[in-house]
Amino acid sequence: MKDIFKGVIIKILNVVVIIGMIGGLGFWGYRHFISDNIPSFTTTSEKNIEVIKEKLETTAELNTGSYLCTDVLTKSSSIKIEKWDWNIPLTEKSFIISYDGIVKAGIKDLSKAEVYVKGDFIVVKLPAVEITGIEIDNDSFEVLEQNNNLFNPIQLEDLNEAQKVLKEEMKKCAIEKGVLDLAKSNAETILSSILSDYPNISFQWKE
């Protein structure tokens, strides 16, 4: 009886050992042949970050908002004695000009964006939107009226200075009309399309 019981125990132990060996071989095979070929979330995310950075650097400047301007500017000046802050009489000159122009807004340098992993998301932290360009249509630039002065004639420098004033007025007006908010909203839409292969992207903005 004891011999029979002993034989049963030996058989059970043999089965347990065999099962253990099979399980061990299976685990070893998984570690060496299967798990090594399954990319981890961290590895995949790191590769995605590099690809996203390359796409942003390639895009570089992104203009996503614009504001069209049509306006009239009146400018006048006299010969002035700075020491006494006094305008000399009968030296006033003036002119009225009209113009069309466009103010562009967006992200000047996408290479400055930060890209990193946060939880299950890839965060793209974008530089703040800003005015990227102000262009006056030279074909539309027109002098409507001018009062030339024999002692203080209108010079090319006066028109160049007027254009500088125009650009500042255009910039101020475009910002008041919300061109920066428009550029920010459009930037997220456009970048979502450019980076559509990565649905787990979250956009944030630098101050």
Question: Which single residue is written with the structure tokens 């009489």?
Answer: 89
Q: 78 or 13: whose pLDDT is higher?
A: 78
DSSP element (H, E) containing 49: helix 41-59
CA distances from 170 to 63, 95, 138, 190 (A): 17, 19, 15, 25
- What is the reported pTM? 0.69
User: How do residues 125-176 score in pLDDT, each as one tens digit?
Assistant: 999 999 999 998 888 888 888 888 778 787 888 888 888 888 999 999 999 9
The Cα–Cα gap between 56 and 191 comes to 9
The Cα–Cα gap between 148 and 93 comes to 5
Domain ranges of the chain: 1-38, 39-205
Q: Which are the contacts of 64, defined by CB distance < 8 A and separation ≥ 6? A: 105, 106, 107, 129, 182, 183, 184, 186, 187, 190
DSSP element (H, E) containing 203: strand 201-205
Reading phi first (left if > 0) and then psi (alpha if -120 to 50, else beta), residue 60 is in left
The pairing of beta strand 93-107 with beta strand 142-147: antiparallel
User: How do residues 42-94 score in pLDDT, each as one tens digit?
Assistant: 556 778 888 888 888 888 889 999 999 888 888 888 778 777 878 888 878 88
The Cα–Cα gap between 112 and 48 comes to 17
Q: Which tokens is 200 given?
A: 């787990």
What pLDDT does 6 receive? 44
